[in-house]
Chains A and B, each alone.
Chain A
Amino acid sequence: MGVKYDHNAVVIEEAPKLNYTHNYVCLPYDYGRESYENRADVKAIKATVRSALDKLDEATGWKAKFKGQKILIKPNLVFVTPKTSYRYDYDIPQTTDPRVFDATMEVLSELCDDIVIGEGSGLVTWTYAKMAGYLDIAKKYNAKFVCFEELPTQRFFCPKAEVGQEVYVPDIIGEVIRGERLYVSHPKTKCNIYTGVTLGFKNSMGTYSVNMRARNHTWQINKKLTDIMYLFKPDLTVIDGIIGGEGNTPGPNDPVIFDRIICGTNAVEVDRITTELMGFDPNKNDLIIEADKRGFGDPDVEIIGEKRVVPFRPAEPTLLSERFKKNWPGVKEFVGYTNPHVPKVDKIDGWTHDEVFAMEQFDRGGTPSSLGTCFEVFFASYTYPLTRMRHLNVIVGEGAEWNGVKYWLCDDGHAYTLEELEKLPGMTVVVGENSAPAKSAATHPFFFIRGWGEVNNLAVRMAASMMPTVPGQADLHWLPWIGIGAVRKYLIKLGRAALGQKTDMTYDAFTDGVYTIPELAEQNLDVDWIEAPLPPQDLKDRWQAMKETRILAQFLL
Chain B
Amino acid sequence: MVAVLSYLACIALWIGSTLLMIIKKNPFMALILFLLHFYELVTVGLKTGREYGKKDPVSIASCLCFGFLWWLPLKRQMKKETFTDADFVRHDDDIVIRHD
Contact = CB atoms under 8 A, between A and B. Distances in A.
Interface residues of B, number: 23
A479 B53 CA distance: 21
B88 A29 contact: no
A41 interface: yes
A30 to B, nearest CB: 7
Interface in A1-51: 17-23, 28-30, 33, 35, 39-41
B88 A41 contact: yes
A476 interface: yes
A379 B100 CA distance: 11
Contacts of B89: 18-19
A211 B3 CA distance: 37
Nearest to B77: A29
Give the size range of A's interface with the partner: 20 to 34
A255 B77 CA distance: 22
B55 interface: no
A90 B97 contact: yes
A19 B90 CA distance: 4
Contacts of A347: none
A323 interface: yes
B22 interface: no
A22 B87 contact: yes
Contacts of B52: 29
A476 B4 CA distance: 7
Interface in B63-100: 74, 77-78, 81-83, 85, 87-91, 94-95, 97-100
Given A29-B77, A476-B1, A19 B98 contact: no
Interface of A: 17-23, 28-30, 33, 35, 39-41, 88, 90, 247, 254-255, 257, 313, 323, 379-380, 476-477, 479
30 contacts: A18-B88, A18-B89, A18-B90, A19-B87, A19-B88, A19-B90, A19-B91, A19-B94, A20-B88, A21-B94, A21-B95, A22-B81, A22-B87, A22-B88, A23-B81, A28-B81, A29-B74, A29-B77, A29-B78, A30-B53, A39-B88, A88-B97, A254-B99, A255-B95, A255-B97, A257-B95, A313-B100, A379-B99, A380-B99, A476-B1
Given A29-B77, A33-B53, A90-B97, 15 more contacts: A17-B90, A18-B88, A19-B87, A19-B88, A29-B52, A29-B53, A29-B81, A30-B81, A41-B88, A88-B97, A90-B95, A254-B97, A254-B99, A380-B99, A476-B4
